[in-house]
Amino acid sequence: MKKYLVIGNPIGHSLSPLIHNYWMKKYHLIDSVYEKKKVEKKDLIGIVDQVRSGEIKGVNITVPYKKEIIPLLDEIKGDAQLTQSVNTLCKVNNEVHGYNTDTKGFKYSLDDSHLPNNLEYNFIDCKNKNIFIIGAGGVTSSILEAFIDTANKIYITNRTKEKAKELKKLGDISITLLGRKKNTIEVVEWGEKPEICDVVINTTSVGLTRDENLNLDFKDYQNNKNTLFYDLIYNPKETKFLKEARLRGNKTMNGKMMFIWQAQIAFHMWTGVEAEIDGDVIKLLNND
Ligand code: ATR
């Protein structure tokens, strides 16, 4: 039996087993099973050892361990290095390597060359656009990284300003590596707004509980049909942040496609199977 896991704390809400087991069945990987496991920090080393020994074939990491897992790994690669966030573990030549599939998953959710067949979607070309990122939590570095090579300007705001500043520091490393202009990333005070942006994205946990509100004022976006309001939350399907944007006439998108793409990329790394993203898999994750 090939065993796969998603680990985190809490973990009850995770839909990763649903999507991975669906694909395992669809692609006849009958000797594979994907489970969720709530773990404490002290358990992480044992999980890494089980990947090294082959007892576990692949692991997804979720909140709050995407950063904490890093010192326990033999190597981290690509976007995981740039974001200091690991959501996927693989065994490579007796070593355990950490990868980040969130950044690419997010990029694909905005890219029309990754358009699932016959599905309508609010794609947006982010090249040379102005981006406003709200939040500086565990997932935000993955979102920031997705915009760094193409955006014109990236504004970040967070209730705790210090965390936004830390994130800018991390992003500025990529900015330097890419030779982009030094002031691409700017921290904005919580409650203040930058110029009108092309994408406004909520990466905070506000909205997970129905009708929770960020209390940020987006009146300037009234009837703005060009700006995309993106919420990483997909359950509930439409947070207050997105509902208000829709009522203002803005474009909206929730985090479902990002979730599907990050899973699809991890699944491919582990199994070599390029799972198709179609209406059925999207329907599988419909929650309301
Ligand atoms: P995670 O790793 O799950 O993302 P986190 O690191 O605690 O969790 O980040 C949660 C994000 O939601 C943070 O940006 C947090 O802001 P702070 O850094 O100030 O805590 C944000 N957040 C949570 N509750 C919030 C609230 N009521 N108002 C504004 N931001 C909030």
> How far is Cα 87 from Cα 79, in angstroms, rounded to an integer?
11
Residue 23's pLDDT band, with cuts at 50, 70 and 90, is: very high
Query: Could you read off the pLDDT of 141-156 as tens digits, one per residue?
Result: 999 999 999 999 999 9
Tell me: pLDDT of 125 over 90. no
Q: What was the pLDDT predicted at 120?
A: 60
Atom in ligand 1 nearest the alpha carbon of residue 140:
4
pLDDT (tens digit per residue) in 34-80: 999 999 999 999 999 999 999 999 999 999 999 999 999 999 999 99
pLDDT for 208 equals 87
- Angle, helices 161-178 vs 140-148, to 10°: value is 30
- % of the chain surpassing 90 pLDDT: 83
pLDDT at 78: 93
206 in contact with ligand 1, CB cutoff 6 A: yes
Active-site residue among 36, 57, 66, 251? Answer: 66
What's the pLDDT tens digit per position in 87-114?
999 999 999 999 999 999 999 999 877 6
- Check residues 209 and 74 and name the one with the higher pLDDT: 74
Crossing angle for the helix pair 102-109 and 256-271, to the nearest 10 degrees: 130
Between the CA of residue 107 and those of 146, 189, 232, what are the distances in Å? 6, 26, 12
- Ligand 1 atom 27 nearest Cα: 206
